[in-house]
Structure 1
């Protein structure tokens, strides 16, 4: 399932736009070698100044909701916490990591990300491990790390959704709000809700990728460690469910299809 969670209406991306947006990608590659909090790239001139401007222009050019409003502390933190989930889980996936990083800055559309569930399995088997158990342990650790970060993201998202509700009530009720602030306000609500949708889509993709990898590992290298990996994936799925069913502000309208986390 692939959607354009920031767009008011769905539409196809023109290849020319994607190609032109890839131009700064090589600069991004040079700037994301080291990591900071939550595994994100350390702050640089690119990530703090250039990428946000390029992302705003690219998103607006694709017809997606884009707001010039400054981010609240919770909105900024939610974007930081989302980074883990929208990046590829696959080990050694440098190119896809850069694509996802550019999608996170909105320079590229989210549809540019890989949707091949076999990526994780290829990455897991493409790395030298001491034993077969090490591969299962890596998968267990990845799934558990995802699970532990969902709760803080959900709490953060709930605060953002609550404040967006206040924001829109104020826009509708207060005569002191200038008309030119109404569209950016709605765009910010769409951005925030779209980010939650995107995280749920990528969580679903991660769960399906882990299950694909587990099934293929069991066929190639059966191990008792598969039980621990299966339990970790089940726990991740259980934790993701409440996040992806939490009440939102219906910024996309009643017809919007919400992401559904993997169910068998």
Structure 2
């Protein structure tokens, strides 16, 4: 008989086996409960409300409940600040949100994953996004005319361009807030314990969010470019010239984001002519028919 395994003298039952079986059942129940809770969070994360221009709207679930869960989980792996958000930080988060997701494109930017990343419930996964998703969505969406896909692509690029100046301005304001915090920390002495740690943690959080925005802008530009290149092969039309010009302007903002140049040229008025993109086509037959939206 195995050591530690005791058999009842009358019934012959093995108590360790029963105990192990009960422990296994408890473990299984806990795993199932954890899975159900995680699934519930995933479903909840998938429906963050947005308003005009894709900016996030207030929501108790998404502004309080999910961040509270995410903060608890994040403390186990990275710096977390106890500071309240400034108006500038809240504005940055609201304005950058539309670049981190793309509801109009059927989750081509992984909206659910973005919300779990924003609330810090899950680790970042946007590093693994592939640039073919937008084109795949555009390709399978039904239009009466193939030319309208170019119009759709151009509208999405122009929507990004329209909100880029104010988004850059909001990031610039947060960078200034972090600078002011550092100056105040260095010059003041009557501070609560942990003030320095909170300043460093908030700087980490803001830098993390800004870097996420930088990746998102470049991902959009690369996704749009991939779509245009493939549309030129699949359904070549003269409308591609307009899209190419819009993408040239977007490349200007993507380059500035990569350089972290958020505080210069606030209107982006120097975007035209400042970036050269190799032509995607040689000569196109004029095709200037005006096509209504699908």
Q: CA RMSD in A?
A: 2.5
* 1:59 to 2:71 alignment: no
| Partner of residue 210, structure 2 | 196
SS of structure 2 residue aligned to 1:179: coil
| Partner of residue 64, structure 2 | 49
Q: Residue by residue, what CA displacement relative to the aligned partner does 1:142-192 show, whole Å, maximum 9, x if unpaired? A: 111112211111111111111211101211221112331111111111111
* Matches of 1:111 and 1:26, distance apart in 2: 17
Given that residues 70 and 120 in structure 2 are in contact (C-alpha distance below 8 angstroms), is that contact kept between their aligned partners in structure 1? yes
* Matches of 2:81 and 2:260, distance apart in 1: 24
* Matches of 1:149 and 1:25, distance apart in 2: 28
* 1:240 to 2:254 alignment: yes
Q: CA deviation at 1:28?
A: 2.9
Q: State how 1:1-264 maps to structure 2 within 5 Å.
A: 23-29=40-46, 31-32=47-48, 34-40=49-55, 42-61=57-76, 63-88=77-102, 91-93=105-107, 96-111=110-125, 114-246=128-260
Given that residues 60 and 66 in structure 1 are in contact (C-alpha distance below 8 angstroms), is that contact kept between their aligned partners in structure 2? yes
| Partner of residue 6, structure 2 | none
* Matches of 2:214 and 2:38, distance apart in 1: 25
* Matches of 2:54 and 2:177, distance apart in 1: 27
Q: Segments of 4+ in structure 1 off by > 3 A?
A: 19-23
Q: 1:112 to 1:196 in 2, by over 3 A?
A: closer
For normalisation by structure 1, the TM-score amounts to 0.79
Q: CA deviation at 1:41?
A: 5.2
| Higher RCO, 1 vs 2 (CA within 8 Å, ≥6 residues apart) | 1
Given that residues 88 and 100 in structure 1 are in contact (C-alpha distance below 8 angstroms), is that contact kept between their aligned partners in structure 2? no
* Matches of 2:189 and 2:245, distance apart in 1: 54
| Partner of residue 4, structure 1 | none
Q: Residue by residue, what CA displacement relative to the aligned partner does 1:115-166 show, whole Å, maximum 9, x if unpaired? A: 1110000011111112111101111111111122111111111111112111
Q: CA deviation at 1:58?
A: 2.6
SS of structure 1 residue aligned to 2:194: helix
For normalisation by structure 2, the TM-score amounts to 0.71
* Matches of 1:196 and 1:139, distance apart in 2: 25
Structure number with larger C-alpha Rg:
2
Q: Residue by residue, what CA displacement relative to the aligned partner does 1:28-55 show, whole Å, maximum 9, x if unpaired? A: 33x43x5324324543321122022122
Q: CA deviation at 1:90?
A: 7.1
Q: CA deviation at 1:216?
A: 0.7
